[in-house]
Structure 1
Amino acid sequence: MTVPAGTALADPKPTVKQVKAKLDKLNDKADKVVDRYNTATEQYKKAKNAYTKLNDRYKQKLQTVAELRAEVIRVAVDAYKMGGDVTSWPGMVGADNPDHLLSGLAMAGQISRERLEKLTAFDRENRGLKDERDNAQTALAEADEERDSVQKERAEVLKLIGEQKKLLDKLDAYNPGNPNSTGIKYTGPASGSAAAVLRFAFAQVGKPYIYGGTGPRGYDCSGLTQAAWHAAGVSLPRTTWQQWAWGAGRKVDIKDLQPGDLIFSEGLGHVSIYAGGGKIVHAPQTGDVVKVVRLADYGRPLVGAIRP
């Protein structure tokens, strides 16, 4: 074939099969990145919460030390009025570590038991203040580090989502879902807590997959499993990895599945809920919705299951 000068051959248009294969690989990668993002987010919240608590305690101790310092100064004034030797008081009262304060007072003269107790409390609070401050600063540094990690993971997730949407558009298969979907009724064989889990999960059918989503307008895979089991009074950790680790003593064989069991894909990038009758309910990936499908059509290698 002769090609006119200056004309380039166009790349052949990918087949539907090729696009789907690329999308499957992208979805697997996105699952893992989203879970890392969720994990980093949870760690940031934990570090930030630790800092907030320590900082609140630090502020309380600042107030306590300020009150006790005022009492120490009052003792000094009283001692001065009684003719005591207080030449070293300014240095003792202003010291960060008042080790010499009580011994100085002992040399200055007798003090009441009540005042001695207050001064001892001043010493104790002052000693603990620096540790509280250092711990709060460490917690804040950890929170900042986790925040940076979250931002990096989020940027990678957004990039992957953009690629997923392009491929879905090529397949004319992008499903935005309905955040207000009332789902479908569960009529399967589950009972007890598992029935509560599946009633909740089925009521979310049709809502969009949203990375980092914990409801009620959309979910990612572990967000759905966490919310569903919460409806049954069981508190699961947030991420797929954490849920798998949490269930270390609750693992069951895939061939022994019961309704409500959590099923994990190989690599722990995805988790779904067994609904009974060979079906699962799950939040698949970007461009899809919470849905019920046959486990046999799941299409991902499985690593195992847990029974909360």
Structure 2
Amino acid sequence: MAAHRRPKQRTLGGTAARTALTVALAGAATGTLFEGAGHAEPGATPEQLRAKADTLYREAEEATERYNGAKEAAAEARTALDGLRDEAARRTERLNASRNALGSIATAQYRAGGLDPAVQLALSSDPDGYLAGAEFTERAGARQAATLAGIRKQSRELAQLRSEAAGTLDELTARQEELARHRTAVREKLTAARSVLARMTPAGRAGYASQDGTAPGRADRDTARGGAPGGTAADAPNPRAAQAIAYAYGALGRPYVWGATGPTAYDCSGLTQAAWRSAGVALPRTTYTQIDAGRRVPRSQLAPGDLVFFYSGISHVGLYIGNGQMIHAPRPGAPVRVAPIDQMPFAGATRVV
């Protein structure tokens, strides 16, 4: 009979009971955020998933900025290579022309060189003319020597040019490989972030999408243009800054697309570059180069139009519009919007003009 007895159930008390209650409450809270318990990581809370998504999106943005830098460097290497190849083609054409000229001189001398010069003078019916011709031949010989020296110089320069082109081609190949690596990294991070978001309910995803700023609808545009929460172009310290701000307001609601520079989509540095480009100022492409594109200013002295940077790796940038607000392109799924600058770790600011 003992074999059929139920095992004695143990009751929980003290720390064990509190732990069980915490897990139960966490599970109840999780049920409001996740599609189903089977999709949630064991022990993951809504805050942990949000933090994980934030981390993945930030890493994707860091990879995006590296991608942007590699893309710009590859374009520069391609332009340099094309220039070197064009110059090599021009120099090759000039070298061939010099060689042809040298060949013509050599052929003429060969044809006239079958008789001793003294015999040619004795047999000439026009000695004075022959002597003048001999002087011309001597001068032609000097020109031939100069032409030969020029050909040697052109050959050396052409070889150097071709060597530079080969080096630039190697650089271009390396940049293209780097570009492919960063492109893969961006896509992997974004795929992982979408996987985390897929565990949330529609309400949870909507809450996450709006957690870093007001959704950029018509009301947001009208409110922001009216001076709250941010400033307006009229508050800018100079006309160029005013134009950059006006452009950024016009971009509100446009989607975030990594690597995009407008006019229909932007990433964070693409937006600031496009805004200042509309004001006639050429900014570099990436966050980590834009921060050095002007004069650094402390946070306490920010003015509308300044570039504001975030995170220790300088991986995010926005355009300051006043009142502690900026316009920025946050991340995929969160379009260009007005947001407070204190929502991310502040890394510095730059005044472009």
Q: Does TM, normalized by the shorter one, top 0.5? A: yes
Q: How many residues align?
A: 268
Are 1:206 and 1:291, in contact at CA under 8 Å, matched by a contact in 2?
yes
Among 41, 66, 76, the alignment partner of 2:106 is: 76
Among 164, 182, 189, the alignment partner of 1:160 is: 189
Cα-Cα RMSD: 2.4
Are 2:61 and 2:186, in contact at CA under 8 Å, matched by a contact in 1?
no
In the alignment, does 2:83 pair up with 1:45?
Answer: no
In the alignment, the residues of structure 1 paired with residue 143 and residue 327 of structure 2 have an alpha-carbon distance, to the nearest angstrom, of 68
Give the corresponding residue for 1:135.
164
Counterparts of 1:216-295 in structure 2, within 5 Å, are 216-247=263-294, 250-267=295-312, 268-295=314-341
In the alignment, the residues of structure 2 paired with residue 184 and residue 53 of structure 1 have an alpha-carbon distance, to the nearest angstrom, of 46
In the alignment, the residues of structure 2 paired with residue 204 and residue 166 of structure 1 have an alpha-carbon distance, to the nearest angstrom, of 28
* 110-119 or 139-148, larger mean C-alpha shift: 110-119
User: What TM-score do the two structures reach when normalised by structure 2?
Assistant: 0.71
Are 2:247 and 2:275, in contact at CA under 8 Å, matched by a contact in 1?
yes
Among 106, 110, 123, the alignment partner of 2:138 is: 110
**3-state SS of the aligned residue for 2:292?**
helix
In the alignment, the residues of structure 2 paired with residue 156 and residue 202 of structure 1 have an alpha-carbon distance, to the nearest angstrom, of 31
Q: Could you list the per-position Cα deviations for residues 30-58 of structure 1 after superposition, in whole angstroms to 9, with x for gaps in the alignment?
A: 22111111111111111111111111111
Counterparts of 1:83-232 in structure 2, within 5 Å, are 83=113, 110-112=138-140, 115-169=144-198, 170=200, 171-173=204-206, 184=221, 186-187=225-226, 188=232, 189-190=235-236, 191-232=238-279
Aligned-pair CA distance for 1:193: 1.2
**3-state SS of the aligned residue for 1:124?**
helix
Are 1:165 and 1:287, in contact at CA under 8 Å, matched by a contact in 2?
no
In the alignment, does 2:340 pair up with 1:307?
Answer: no
Are 1:165 and 1:286, in contact at CA under 8 Å, matched by a contact in 2?
no
Are 1:229 and 1:235, in contact at CA under 8 Å, matched by a contact in 2?
yes
Q: Could you list the per-position Cα deviations for residues 252-277 of structure 1 after superposition, in whole angstroms to 9, with x for gaps in the alignment?
A: 00111000000011220101110112
In the alignment, the residues of structure 2 paired with residue 184 and residue 195 of structure 1 have an alpha-carbon distance, to the nearest angstrom, of 16
Letter in structure 2 aligned against 1:261: D
Aligned-pair CA distance for 1:192: 1.3
Aligned-pair CA distance for 1:244: 1.4
In the alignment, the residues of structure 2 paired with residue 161 and residue 218 of structure 1 have an alpha-carbon distance, to the nearest angstrom, of 17
Counterparts of 1:2-41 in structure 2, within 5 Å, are 12=42, 14-41=44-71
**3-state SS of the aligned residue for 1:172?**
helix
In the alignment, the residues of structure 1 paired with residue 340 and residue 291 of structure 2 have an alpha-carbon distance, to the nearest angstrom, of 22
Structure 1's unaligned 5+ residue stretches are 2-8, 86-108, 176-180
Are 2:292 and 2:350, in contact at CA under 8 Å, matched by a contact in 1?
no
In the alignment, the residues of structure 2 paired with residue 303 and residue 126 of structure 1 have an alpha-carbon distance, to the nearest angstrom, of 53
In the alignment, the residues of structure 2 paired with residue 131 and residue 71 of structure 1 have an alpha-carbon distance, to the nearest angstrom, of 23
Structure 2's unaligned 5+ residue stretches are 1-8, 10-36, 116-136, 210-217, 227-231
In the alignment, the residues of structure 2 paired with residue 218 and residue 139 of structure 1 have an alpha-carbon distance, to the nearest angstrom, of 32
User: What TM-score do the two structures reach when normalised by structure 1?
Assistant: 0.80
CA 1:84 to 1:146, structure 2 compared with 1: closer, same or farther past 3 Å? farther
Larger radius of gyration: 2
Give the corresponding residue for 2:32.
none
Identical pairs, percent: 33
Aligned-pair CA distance for 1:14: 3.8
CA 1:134 to 1:84, structure 2 compared with 1: closer, same or farther past 3 Å? farther
Letter in structure 1 aligned against 2:335: V
Structure with the bigger percentage of helix = 2
CA 1:294 to 1:75, structure 2 compared with 1: closer, same or farther past 3 Å? same
Aligned-pair CA distance for 1:167: 2.8
Q: Could you list the per-position Cα deviations for residues 136-193 of structure 1 after superposition, in whole angstroms to 9, with x for gaps in the alignment?
A: 0000010001100100110010111112223334233387xxxxx9x94645122511
* 202-211 or 159-168, larger mean C-alpha shift: 159-168
**3-state SS of the aligned residue for 1:160?**
helix
